[in-house]
Amino acid sequence: MLALVPVFSHFMGESFYVTLVSRMMIFALAATGLNLVMGYGAMVSFGHALYIGLGAYVVGVLSFHGINNGWLHLAAALGVGTALATLIGLVCLRAKGVGFIMITLAFAQMFYFLVVSLKQYGGDDGFSISDRSDFGVIDLNNNVVLYYVIFGTLTTVLFVFHRLVHARFGMVLRGCRTNERRLEALGMPVARVKLTAYVLSALVCVLAGVLLANLTRFISPSYMHWVVSGDLIVMAVLGGLGTLVGPVMGAVLWLTMEDLLSSFNVGWSVLDDFVRNHWLGVLGLMALLVALKLKDGIYGIITARYGEKP
């Protein structure tokens, strides 16, 4: 269905849907990255927005200084992301539970205020990018080409994660969710596996940030705000934690509801005005209902109903 969106958009004469679904897939990519540590490793991170913002700012800062080579953007973003995620992971993984959540949140907010202070790069207002990353034969200035680059990245990450979570690495990671102490007693490299999973999940979010910067042609500190991390958690929970496709479904559904509620129109002016003015509150109530009623997420409910394994 996602692969056919540009085709339907062309025949409908509505290019807006290509951009809208591109944004959905970018956040689906980030939610999939978060799901690796939260869904399979039971490490609830409230700071993965940091890596989305990092990827976006690497693209923006290099473009600001006249460097438009996309391969250099990608290499720099992944390199900086790997170094930063490794250092943060070494600190965060010393804590568990609420401590882990708060430390990841603290790091994300620290970098958020750091980029706000960078007045030469727009400060709190952010700044625009004149051109998208130049990958040579891959012309990202064409929205359809960019769409399929995002689509290809998402499907590749899903395939890699599928192989990863069913390999020995994934078995150890999932075992940490159940009984970490027993795995350590068996001599499993628990700390190394958790750190690797954290870095991999961060790099997927860095990729999402690189793609987001190219989609919007705009860089903002808001990409690093804790609210974005909260959205990623909701997307993963809504679709189904610990499932491969769940975060993708959750991201698409969550952003669809966000778009529908912010432009709500059923012909009843009082209701329309109320929902459009308070759509965040309505969305919050929906998130609360999901947390209370859909503990296995939408994809988890579907697979349970049809007797399939997530």
pLDDT at 249: 92
pLDDT at 299: 81
pLDDT at 104: 94
CA gap 105, 254 in Å, rounded: 22
Residue pLDDT tens, the chain, 310 long: 899 999 998 888 888 899 999 999 999 999 999 999 999 998 999 999 999 999 999 999 999 999 999 999 999 999 999 999 999 999 999 888 889 999 999 999 999 999 999 999 988 899 999 889 999 889 899 999 999 999 999 999 999 999 999 999 999 999 888 888 888 888 888 899 999 999 999 999 999 999 999 999 999 999 999 999 999 998 998 888 888 999 999 999 999 988 888 777 776 777 778 787 888 888 888 778 777 777 778 887 777 776 555 4
